[in-house]
Chains A and B, each alone.
Chain A
Amino acid sequence: MELILAIGIGVLAGSGVWLILRPRSFQVIIGLSLLSYAVNLFIFAMGRLGLGLPPVVDPNVPMDSSTFTDPLPQALILTAIVIGFAMTALFLVVLIVARGLTGTDHVDGREPGQ
């Protein structure tokens, strides 16, 4: 599972970075989305990985970290998803405005050579 998750994060992050470095603003926004998925999965992996474990501590069982999933990263990811999503939406709006005002979807607002 660790290997699959690591490869998944790596592929997402790699494609995200490549897309962010592209000159078209739509590619940039898709790159940002992919990167945010990679980061969220990464936060998830930084709490321990486990299968089928509840993110709840049972007060009757002595404290043992292998019996429950760390709930904190899940809370963090929830916040990060909300914020990242809102920011991406905002970026989309700016992107559309830039497209309308400059007449091109190049990130610099003008075609190279213009």
Chain B
Amino acid sequence: MQATTLAKEQLFSMYRMMVTIRRFEEALRNLFFQGQIPGFVHLSIGEEAVPTGVCAALTDKDYITTTHRGHGHMLAKGGKPKLMMAEMFGRRTGYCKGKGGSMHIVSYDLGILGANGIVGGGIPIAVGAALASSFRGNDAVAVAFFGDGASNEGTFHESANLAGLWKLPVIFVCQNNGYAEFTPTSESTAVKDIAIRAQGYNMPGVIVDGNDVLAVYEVVKTAVARAKRGEGPTLIEAKTYRWEGHVVGEQAFVGEYRPAAEIEAAKQRCAIVLFAKKLLATGFIEQAELDRIAAEVQRKIDEAIAFAQSSPFPEPQEALDDVFAP
């Protein structure tokens, strides 16, 4: 096992988190096909090591912004499956009282400043949170999660420049899953590695295996330390792969646009299996314990679904609330 500063309990909780993200999204996919989830659902199955590794290096007072594909980031930052699930179902008990849905979840208390329906929309917001942190001297760092596709938006470049210029405590985490919608990164991005773009903004650019949760954790930990020393931002490119389509149900209207062998190869490098193997090899943990964690997670997800299903829809007139602060 590679060097890690993590204690046994932290390793367990990382494993639990990866399984939670996987099961949460698998459930979501099934519920969508059953017609229980309105709107669009974007899954990050196969990418669980990135949110888990990143958020393990953060504290409660740190901030994140995420994307349309943000369930994993929210769970890893402490999002409660129940409240997230209820939001997906459009219920009043959800994080946003049914107003936001999957793509727009916010949990102010948890420092989740928003999933986002606009590609690149959250990146400057994370920079702003880091700016506030530098004003207030409260040591909080902000992480902007975004995709390789988003790194072609102006918002990424403008944000990176501000952060580099002002040495803000922000970490840009580009979760490169190889595709933006239906277009492979190689057909949309002038550079092979997104991390190289860091050079233009005077910050370190680091590439990490996005399927190796401990490797992700370590690079983020280094970036957090750097941010807290006032040395500024880091761009981390975590290379991973999305097993599922861009949006659930897309096969019906776009068909398959990726080589089957490519998807199969990615599945062979399942982040959860890789991590389990490592844990077992250390002798820290027995298979039975991993099974117990998986069963416990499944129970939690089932509870979340039951909670969502039994929660009421909002009253229609509630649509008029929350436009302005009182």
- Binding partners A and B: no
* Chain A residues proximal to chain B, CB less than 8 Å: none
